Structure formats: structure tokens, C-alpha cells
Amino acid sequence: MAELLPRFEPRAPWWGPDLQTLRNLLRQPEPDFNGASAERLLLPASDASGDTLVGLLQRPPGGGRGPLVVLIHGLGGSEDSPYQRVSAAQLLGQGRPVVRLNLRGAGPARALCRSQYHAGRTEDLRDALAQLPEELVREGLVLVGFSLGGNMLLKFLAEFASATPVRAAVSVSAPIDLEAASLRFLAPRNRIYVWQILRNLKRVSLAAPAELTESERRAILSARSVWEFDDRFVGPHNGWAGAEPYYAANSARRFLHEIRVPTLLLHALDDPWIPADAYTSFPWRENAELLPVLSPGGGHVGFHGRGDRRPWHDRCLEAFLGSLGL
């Protein structure tokens, strides 16, 4: 099936992994939603916390066709992340209905949540999908996860997909080995990325109505790396002793053998954030449901290629769904 997918070749002037990664920040995309309708969805968590996830449902004129596509953002993202907006516009242009899901405490869900999502909080995704209106999921679901949302998606597929009408899934630049990705951020070349990511994480984590102890606030403010943020706050706040047990419990790589849904995994071997070894060393042939496509270039959720202004991962998603008759 991989031969049916387009090949990635970088588009000038976005040469190299960093320009590919930063392109959407340097040149903000302005997708055309072509008259699509928009409706806010409130999706309460089932854990008695009172927290509520938020989705943005968009339908093309005429209501749309085929399975509902749910887009799951990455670390520090939301429904307004550039890759979310661009992918939604492409899917709507194909006549597909789309939900851009804001995970617990992200985007417009921040004001409705006292806690936050993490890399393995798959119960939230299960709860959100279960509450989608029946008429929306009558033809099934296609799930697409970007970056950290891709890790969550892959773990979810192994744990809960059998109880949902998921027909296909796609992960884009997923850090399937969380510890390896966190260690990669410690490299001097990634300092500018870490500065921006931590600034955003700290702002969102401290925003009202987050329920934090004074020691947790100090841990958030004192973190100087993604590893320290996870080791001092995310891990302990969610029941793990620190970063290492949190990563070990939630890395998608350990769940890949259990996935029973056709799943496309897109990743660039030059991703500046995620080491390629997690992908190149996995025995993919042991699970026929998994289709890994490892591009030599593309950066992290970049994939700005020649010959088509659509990101390569969106073109692959369209071809993958077409190959499945969806």
C-alpha cells in the first residue's frame, strides 16, 4: 500500500528539518474553509472531575460524506494550531466532516478544566468519542493525531478502539518513545524550541482554573527543560514518581503490537525533535495493520513538499483513506 502514497520532496525555500518545522510559524497559513459550518461540542470527562473537553465540529456545505475525521493536536496545541486548521480545510474540501478536538485543558477547554491532558490520557479520548452525536459517527470514525496527540492516538487504538467505530487512523510525527524525544530536547541545537515550548506549557499549566499546590507551581516555574517539566510536574501530578515511569507507561511504541485498526504512521527521519531509532528499530512486519512511511525529510509536522501546496501528510491521509475505500 505504501507505493500508493505520494513521495515527499521538500519545497524551496524550506530546506532542512528546522525550516520545515518552523514554516507554519514563519508564514502563517490562511486556509479557506469554503463556507463550512461550525458548531461547538462540549464533551465532559467521565472521571467526576467536572472537566470538559471541547471540540469544533465543521461540516462542508451539504453536511459531508463518509466517516467523521477527528483531529488530535500535539503538545501545547489546540484547535487553532496551524496544522489543525490546514488539515481541517483540506478534509472539508474533500467533502468530509471534521472535529478539531481540544484535549483536557487545551485551547477553549482551558477555562473548563482544572487538570490537563498528558501523553497517555487515552480515557479522555475514549470519553470524547463516546459522546459524539450518533448521526455524526454513523459511518464510523477516522482519527488523526499530530505529534504528542499521535502518541496518545496510538495508545488509544491498542486500549479502546475495539469499543469504538474507528475505521482507520493516522499518526503524524508521533514521539512513540517519549523518553528518547525528551532527551533529544536536551541537545544544544534544540534550545530555541525548548524555550518556546516551555514558555507555552508554563503559561497554560498555571492558567485558571488549574488546581495546583504551591509546590507544583514552583515545580512548573523552575523547570528548565521538557524533562524537568515532566519529572517535577507532569509525572507526579498524574501519579508517577517522575519522568521515567511516566514515559515508560505511556510511550506508544510498547502498544503498537496490539493495534487492530488500519493505521498509517508518518514520520520524517530528520525530525529535529524525535529520534528516528524508535521507528527504524521496530519490527513492523509483526503487525499487518500498521503502515509506517518514513520520509528522509520533512521535519516535525512540516512536510512542505514540491508539486502541491498541501502538506505531504494531508496528501498521504487522502490517499490512505482512498485505498481503504473510505
Whether 271 sits among the annotated catalytic residues: the reply is: yes
3-state SS track over the chain: CHHHCCCCCECCCCCHHHHHHHHHHHCCCCCCCCCCEEEEEEEECCCCCCCEEEEEEEECCCCCCCCEEEEECCCCCCCCCHHHHHHHHHHHHCCCCEEEEECCCCHHHHHHCCCCCCCCCHHHHHHHHHCCCHHHCCCCEEEEEECHHHHHHHHHHHHHHHHCCEEEEEEECCCCCHHHHHHHCCCHHHHHHHHHHHHHHHHHHHCCCCCCCHHHHHHHHHCCCHHHHHHHHHHHHCCCCCHHHHHHHHCHHHHHHHCCCCEEEEEECCCCCCCCHHHHCCCHHHCCCEEEEEECCCCCCCCCECCCCCCHHHHHHHHHHHHCCC
Q: Which of 73, 237, 267, 300 does the annotation list as catalytic?
A: 300
Catalytic residue among 78, 81, 147, 171: 147
Rg (C-alpha) for the chain, rounded Å, is 19
The one catalytic residue in 271, 295, 313, 314 is 271
HEC profile of 85-154: HHHHHHHHHCCCCEEEEECCCCHHHHHHCCCCCCCCCHHHHHHHHHCCCHHHCCCCEEEEEECHHHHHHH
Tell me if residue 147 is catalytic.
yes
Question: What is the rounded distance in angstroms from the CA atom of residue 22 to the CA atom of residue 17?
Answer: 9
Active site residues: 147, 271, 300
